[in-house]
Chains A and B, each alone.
Chain A
């Protein structure tokens, strides 16, 4: 069964450093998303991406964040200057657009720890 993959599984970084989280969505999916979950809190939407542009973003997704689909398979989330409060699980998700249920499939996540 096809699945969303994410690398790395755990990233430790110093405050102020840039990090890039990588995702490979399911191959025939066309909508891509990033969510995050701070430990003990709910899953929160960050950004959605369709047709090579951002379709929606949340208040969390400020100028420190960017997304990119550099090739036909990868989808990346960049945090330019990490803060302590960026420590969280970051989940990538993807969705196939044409018909069918409005279902998003999640990757296993990247645990980001900012020291």
Chain B
């Protein structure tokens, strides 16, 4: 089983649509969870950390289900500029390495 598993996509959606990405992780000892965004041939950039209570940042909402080892990201009212690859990332915490999923590609179209 992959350490972090994501649907690779691509997800092609019209501008204004709501889109959801899912991710599962295999190591139940994981303590820190993130969504990073990666544009083509660029570095990963932190989109948001994910907390057990769920958290929201503008149009972005992240959820964590520790029992199911499942993480989600919801993007509302998608913009052309949201087109990127979204990386699900987990860590044991405390400065330990980040473990990346393969990423889900999103293309927002007019």
A and B associate in one complex: yes
**CB within 8 Å of B: which residues of A?**
31, 33, 35, 41-45, 48, 50, 55-56, 58, 89, 91, 93, 95, 97, 101-109, 111
Question: Cβ of A103 and Cβ of B97 under 8 Å apart?
Answer: no
Contacts of A58 in B (CB 8 A): 97
Q: Indicate which residue in A35, A44, A103, A111 contacts B34 across the interface (CB closer than 8 Å).
A: A103
Interface size class for chain B?
20 to 34
Contacts of A108 in B (CB 8 A): 42-43
Contacts of B97 in A (CB 8 A): 33, 45, 48, 56, 58
Residue of A nearest to B93 (CB): A102
Tell me whether B58 is interfacial, beta carbon within 8 Å.
Answer: no
Q: Which 9 residue pairs are nearest across A and B when measured between Cβ atoms? A: A45-B97, A106-B43, A102-B32, A43-B100, A42-B102, A31-B95, A42-B100, A101-B49, A102-B93
Q: Indicate which residue in B42, B95, B98, B102 contacts A109 across the interface (CB closer than 8 Å).
A: B42
Residue of B nearest to A107 (CB): B43
Question: Cβ of B44 and Cβ of A106 under 8 Å apart?
Answer: yes
**CB within 8 Å of A: which residues of B?**
31-32, 34, 38, 41-46, 49, 87, 91, 93-103
A-B contact pairs, 13 of them (CB 8 A): A42-B100, A42-B101, A42-B103, A43-B87, A48-B96, A56-B97, A91-B43, A91-B44, A95-B95, A102-B32, A102-B94, A103-B46, A108-B42
